[in-house]
Chain A
Amino acid sequence: MIIEYTKDGTTLTVRPEGPIDSYTAPELDKQMAPQIAGISEVIIDLEKVNYISSAGLRVLIATDQAMEKREGCMKIIHAGPPVMEVLEMTGLVNAFTVISG
């Protein structure tokens, strides 16, 4: 899975590409733990994500919870229609900070 990371001070932007499903989510999960060390804000840019499964949602929740433990925060940006549909269908759209536009 192609995942781009950009750090700006204590803000980490994560840009995965392609589907986040049971095949790719474990890799994202594995990479996130060391990446968020010393970070206070994680921005997940989903512009290049064309599908997200339950496994992908789990990584988002785990990241969100990990940031909360660190008294930081996580935001989701640029979620396209396929991802927004899943977030709305599972009831998680209001459980995350999702920034539209």
Chain B
Amino acid sequence: MERNKQNGGERANDFLLEKRLRAESPELHRRVADCVTVLKQALKSYAARFPFFTDHSVLHSMDVLEFCNRILGDQAEKLSPRECYVLIMSCYLHDIGMGISEKDYLSFRDQLGWSGWLAEHPEKDEAWFVRDYHHELSGLMIRKYAAVFEIPDEDLVFAIVQVSRGHRKTDLFDAAAYPDLQAPDGVIRTAFLAAVLRLADDIDMGVERNPELLFDPSGLTAQRDIDIFGIHESIRTVEVRDDRIILHVAPKEPRLIPQIEDTTEKIRQTLEYCRAAAAARSDLRIRQEEVMLEIMNTEG
């Protein structure tokens, strides 16, 4: 990989959404900036329930936003300012449900079928429920705290809720759930934005997901958690090109290779789904066509 060529290409896609929003709507950009300041603190709260879990702080939000920029490339210029705002805010808010307060959790869980879920999963606990339903909890929290997040109108609240929920499990082909919202100053293509976010979230699997500065793997005891950390450590870089996504891998241990391959296949399935949803539901496209796994040469 030629660094200079790659670096030039990467820089061209740096902060595309943020630049566009600042240029086209300083007011919405200001609202994002104010929100980021708050969320840098607020998003740390996931660690209370999930102290050894993969990072879900503002660092992950920024990763997802960067991947959205790279997935979109020059298509970011085709998004309306309101779409840029929705996607940026959804990058920051999509996992806020992971750090839900006990008070909010107790008020929301019945809406999500807590007692039925517990009956089906007697061996699991509240933390598992939050993990399983965190996308829905995020949606509920965004709506409840829309004024705190300074989301200026109902269309934008709805769009951010749907796109944020849409980072997992929801049906992006459902036109009622994911409509195109028309407004005088531009359309919000919620299905396309959700598809981009879902893919960006899924590919945040690299080693930087758990920074050395913040994550001490010696505290991990559950084999599943140890393996997940090992997979992250093994994926040295996630490279998003115009036409493909490449996972550059240096396996930490040979026994992790099948799991890394499974992870790659899962990302392929997400890419396929998101490409199909984008094509079916909008005039914009996810242009990346394949996910490749490249084993890095670590010798010499």
A95 to B36 CA separation, bound complex (whole angstroms): 8
Among B61-69, B119-127, B250-258, the one that faces the other chain is B61-69
CB-CB contacts below 8 Å: A24-70 with B: 25-26, 29-30, 32-33, 36, 51, 53-55, 57-59, 61-63, 65-66, 69
Of all chain B residues, which has the CB nearest A35? B213
A61 to B39 CA separation, bound complex (whole angstroms): 12
A95/B37 contact (C-beta < 8 A), A62-B211, A65-B214, A66-B214 known: yes
Please classify how large the interface on chain B is, using the bins under 10, 10 to 19, 20 to 34, 35 or more.
20 to 34
Q: In the complex, which residues of chain B have a beta carbon less than 8 angstroms from the beta carbon of A53?
A: 10-11, 14
Tell yes or no: B57 within 8 A of A by CB.
yes
Q: Is the interface of B mostly helix, strand, loop or mixed?
A: helix
Majority DSSP secondary structure for residues of A touching B: helix
Interface size class of A (residues with CB under 8 A): 20 to 34
A100 at the interface (CB under 8 A from B): no
Q: How far is the CA of A94 from the CA of B34 in the complex (A)?
A: 8
The stretch that binds A, out of B15-23, B166-174, B189-197, B280-288, is B15-23
Residues of A within 8 A of B213 (CB): 29, 32-33, 36, 59, 62-63, 65-66
A1 to B237, CA, bound (A): 18
Pick from A23, A55, A91: contact of B3, CB under 8 Å: A23
* Cα(A30)–Cα(B212), bound, Å: 7
CB distance from A43 to the nearest CB of B (A): 16
Q: Smallest CB–CB gap between A96 and chain B, Å?
A: 9
Question: Min CB distance, A93 to chain B, in Å?
Answer: 8
Residue B202 at the chain A interface, CB threshold 8 Å = no
19 additional contacts (CB under 8 A) given A22-B237, A91-B29: A21-B10, A22-B10, A29-B212, A32-B212, A53-B10, A54-B65, A58-B63, A59-B211, A62-B211, A62-B213, A66-B214, A89-B29, A90-B15, A91-B33, A91-B35, A91-B36, A95-B36, A95-B37, A95-B40
